[in-house]
Amino acid sequence: MNESLPVVVIGAGPQGLAAAAHLVERGEEVVVLEAGKGVASAVAEWGHVRLFSEWRELVDSASARLLAPTGWMAPQSGYPTGSQWIASYLKPLAELLGDRIRYGSRVTGVSRRGRDRLVDAGRGEQPFTVHVASGDGEYRLHARAVIDASGTWQSPNPAGADGLPALGERGAAERLTYRIPDFRKASEFAGAHTVVIGSGHSAITAVLALARMARRDPSTKVTWAIRRATAASAFGGGDADELPARGALGIKAKELVDAGLVDVVTGFRVERVAEESDGVVLAAEDGRTLTADRVVVLTGFRPDLSFLSELRLELDATLEAPAKIAAEIDPNIHSCGSVAATGAADLAHPEPGFYMVGAKSYGRAPTFLALTGYEQVRSVVAELVGDHEAARRVELVLPDTGVCGGAGIFDASGASLGGACCAPPAQVLQIGRAPASV
């Protein structure tokens, strides 16, 4: 394969930018394709929330080295909001990378030149073809390797308990939201009844914000609908969490539930959604119903694999994550702290030169941390440039969570709101941990 071809990185979020920084530091040509109009467009959507990870856990090492000669200095302490993360780190890094980043460029397909997924002959010698849709039309790039850091933010899970939209869910779309609202601006929640569906830190984020609203305005009603038979695990790791800001979320949530500001309904598995003139009715599989003005669905995210259909991927049947790491990240088994660091060897597929990194590499598992992603891209880039020793080396120690769940975040005032992920947010992504990806 022509070694002069660039490495294409999909996504200009935290992990995509970090991958580009490592490639630049190694003297490699790189093109970053970002579907959004600006840097870290997913993070920008939850810019009003504060991460539970401190600044030192949110800056990639190669990125910091590239930025240092410009006079940039890493913030030393504190828990940034998503907007602060962008303004103080991600945007300066993107500006340094310059025209290596192409905004408004959505990847619609990845394959091999002249080879669909059925063809063996000469496959590994052919460059990747990356098909792109932009405002100027469609085009394609040839690449010697592809790093998919596109995240999961655009693919939220539905309210339906079977993983598919509940009957009527699409028709009631105006009453439902699948992101953590900025409740400081969302006046439609005040004085209304809101049902929050989900049991991760993203759901806790919304529940805590709504509970404070209910404390100010008693006409505001909050119901937390949890699929599990008990709410105990939904309160997180508490004092056992080595990320104190995240552990505090569940503690606060339990206090507000005990104070009567939040009604908890357990074992509620949504089967049907019906929009009525005065609200929306959620019907569970067991026949119970909840009537609400608004519904906040925070049930996690999943990877978009549609544009990778012509590549040979080895994915776990359950998590839709690379098969080699699935056993280490399965939330049915592990807490986030028991998950080992993942490198190039763990992330490799039968398609040589293709890697998924960041929240997308964890598939449907809600356990991703920004630190994990930075370690991933460091290892992957080392492997791509032939530094196999560095690729095998592990340079990451993860904090223990006390319990597995999504990410944790604060509101702008510093008061605990709850969590979400990179991010996101539930896998807010992204993200030390971002809203359940962030």
Among 145-159, 314-328, 423-437, the range scoring the smallest mean pLDDT is 423-437
pLDDT at residue 100, rounded to an integer:
98
pLDDT at residue 432, rounded to an integer:
35
Whole-Å CA distances, 245 to 54, 157, 321, 425: 9, 26, 28, 14
Identify which of 326, 434, 430, 437 has the alpha carbon closest to the alpha carbon of residue 15. Answer: 430
pLDDT of 127 above 70: yes
pLDDT at residue 425, rounded to an integer:
36
Q: What is the pLDDT of residues 8-62, one digit of tens each?
A: 999 999 999 999 999 999 999 999 999 999 999 999 999 988 887 889 999 999 9
Residue 10 falls in which region: left (phi positive, over 0), alpha (psi -120 to 50) or beta: beta
Read off the pLDDT band of 327 (50, 70, 90).
confident
Q: Which CATH number fits domain 170-297: 3.30.160.270, 3.50.50.60, 3.30.2130.10, 3.40.50.360?
A: 3.50.50.60
Q: What is the pLDDT of residues 174-189, one digit of tens each?
A: 999 999 998 888 788 9
Whole-angstrom Cα distance, residue 156 to residue 143? 30
The CATH number given to 7-154+302-392 is 3.50.50.60
Q: 143, 127 in Cβ contact below 8 A?
A: yes
- Provide the residue count of the chain: 438
Q: Give bridge partners of residue 402 from the DSSP assignment.
A: none
Residue ranges per structural domain of the chain = 7-154+302-392, 170-297
pLDDT at residue 420, rounded to an integer:
32
Read off the pLDDT band of 77 (50, 70, 90).
confident
> Is 170-297 in the same CATH topology as 7-154+302-392?
yes
Residue 114 falls in which region: left (phi positive, over 0), alpha (psi -120 to 50) or beta: left
Query: Which residue has tokens 């932009």?
Result: 134
The kind and range of the H/E element at 157 are none
Q: Which residues contact 253 (CB under 8 A, 6 or more apart)?
A: 204, 207, 208, 234, 235, 236, 262, 418
Segment 321-329 long-range contacts (CB within 8 Å, at least 24 positions apart): 321/361, 321/362, 321/363, 321/364, 321/365, 322/346, 322/347, 322/348, 322/349, 322/356, 322/361, 324/348, 325/361, 325/362, 326/363, 329/362, 329/363, 329/365, 329/367
Q: Give bridge partners of residue 104 from the DSSP assignment.
A: none
